[in-house]
Copies of this chain bind each other. A is one copy, B any other.
């Protein structure tokens, strides 16, 4: 029997680290997880991660070889293999994660990028973007992330940090953003953005709404989605407002990189047509006429539970197949 080639995919989140062994067609041969902040020392974290991967490997009956490792991490830089000043991690400064894992795994290729770029590569290798040379993945969660693929390659830019579409300006000097500025797109379009839009509508409209019974701290984007599904007018307006703003921004995006398709991904994308329909309508209304009706806008079809792991694995496969 032929030696099965696998890669390790790692999804490093602020809360949990998930890792898995995955083959070239996206079959997961085993996965594990542990809390990211369990270790005060980054080296201990790396060793625990190595041990977790080796443990998975030992449980696979089929003869196999780990060919490479792909990592999706907050502020992950593809060029340097480092995680730089990620706000959600307890270790500060620049963390040479790829290099450290490479040493522990005997020099196999280890590549790292941020979550949104990993999602884009996952979409390209395992998802709906198969065969596409120019597309964008927009991740809608705590923030708005973006992974651009141009001429078949991820757009990393000069320094490895390109694709911060959440931090283009939507409305200057308005809502405070985590980045230290005001009015960034992600303060309007993201899970917290949807909540802020909801409260803005509660202020401006007198329409009855079940959402008037939530505190600002309590309310989540899921509450708004459930209310919208139950016919709550304010909740529906909040999705329409969010989609309208995202559509305007995507029309500008098309004018710059002109992708074949744009995929929505992440928590907010789970609300499906609630977000997709107003986004598409607004994008179409704002596109230059030459692009009207020509750019696909759709939800990612990657299984949400495994998407991050598949993205990281795909990153490794892409590197190995270069």
Q: Which residues of A contact B (CB under 8 A)?
A: 133-134, 146, 148, 150-151, 153, 155-159, 161-165, 167-169, 172, 179-181, 248, 251-253, 255-260, 286, 288-291, 294-295
Q: List 21 A-B contacts (CB under 8 A).
A: A133-B158, A134-B158, A134-B162, A146-B256, A150-B151, A150-B155, A151-B151, A151-B153, A151-B155, A156-B258, A157-B257, A157-B259, A158-B259, A161-B291, A162-B258, A167-B255, A169-B248, A172-B248, A180-B289, A181-B286, A256-B257
Cα–Cα distance between A35 and B161 once the two chains are bound (Å) = 46
Q: Give the most central of A153, A156, A259, A288: most B CB within 10 Å.
A: A288
Query: What is the CB-to-nearest-CB distance from A296 to chain B, in angstroms, rounded to a whole number?
Result: 10
Q: Are A179 and B258 touching (Cβ within 8 A)?
A: no
Query: What is the CB-to-nearest-CB distance from A225 to chain B, in angstroms, rounded to a whole number?
Result: 28
Q: Are A161 and B252 touching (Cβ within 8 A)?
A: no
Cα–Cα distance between A148 and B179 once the two chains are bound (Å) = 26
Q: Are A169 and B251 touching (Cβ within 8 A)?
A: yes
Q: Are A258 and B169 touching (Cβ within 8 A)?
A: no
Q: Are B165 and A256 touching (Cβ within 8 A)?
A: yes
Cα–Cα distance between A227 and B291 once the two chains are bound (Å) = 40
Cα–Cα distance between A161 and B292 once the two chains are bound (Å) = 13
Q: Is the interface of A mostly helix, strand, loop or mixed?
A: loop
Q: Are A253 and B256 touching (Cβ within 8 A)?
A: yes
Interfacial chain B residues near A151, Cβ < 8 Å: 150-151, 153, 155-156
Interfacial chain B residues near A164, Cβ < 8 Å: 255-256, 258, 288
If A151-B151, A180-B289, A257-B257 are given as contacts, then 15 extra A-B residue pairs at C-beta distance below 8 Å, sorted by A number, are A134-B158, A134-B162, A146-B256, A148-B257, A150-B151, A155-B257, A159-B258, A161-B290, A164-B258, A165-B256, A167-B288, A168-B252, A168-B256, A181-B286, A256-B256
Q: Are B159 and A294 touching (Cβ within 8 A)?
A: yes
Cα–Cα distance between A179 and B288 once the two chains are bound (Å) = 7
Query: What is the CB-to-nearest-CB distance from A322 to chain B, in angstroms, rounded to a whole number?
Result: 13
Knowing A169-B251, A288-B167 are in contact, say whether A258-B153 is a contact too (CB < 8 A).
no
Cα–Cα distance between A294 and B291 once the two chains are bound (Å) = 33
Query: What is the CB-to-nearest-CB distance from A272 to chain B, in angstroms, rounded to a whole number?
Result: 25
Q: Are A157 and B258 touching (Cβ within 8 A)?
A: yes
Cα–Cα distance between A36 and B210 once the two chains are bound (Å) = 66
Closest 9 CB pairs of A and B: A157-B258, A162-B258, A158-B260, A168-B252, A164-B255, A134-B158, A167-B255, A150-B150, A168-B255
Cα–Cα distance between A77 and B247 once the two chains are bound (Å) = 26
Cα–Cα distance between A156 and B253 once the two chains are bound (Å) = 14
Cα–Cα distance between A198 and B148 once the two chains are bound (Å) = 38
Query: What is the CB-to-nearest-CB distance from A50 to chain B, in angstroms, rounded to a whole number?
Result: 30
Q: Give the most central of A146, A256, A259, A291: most B CB within 10 Å.
A: A256
Interfacial chain B residues near A258, Cβ < 8 Å: 156-159, 161-164
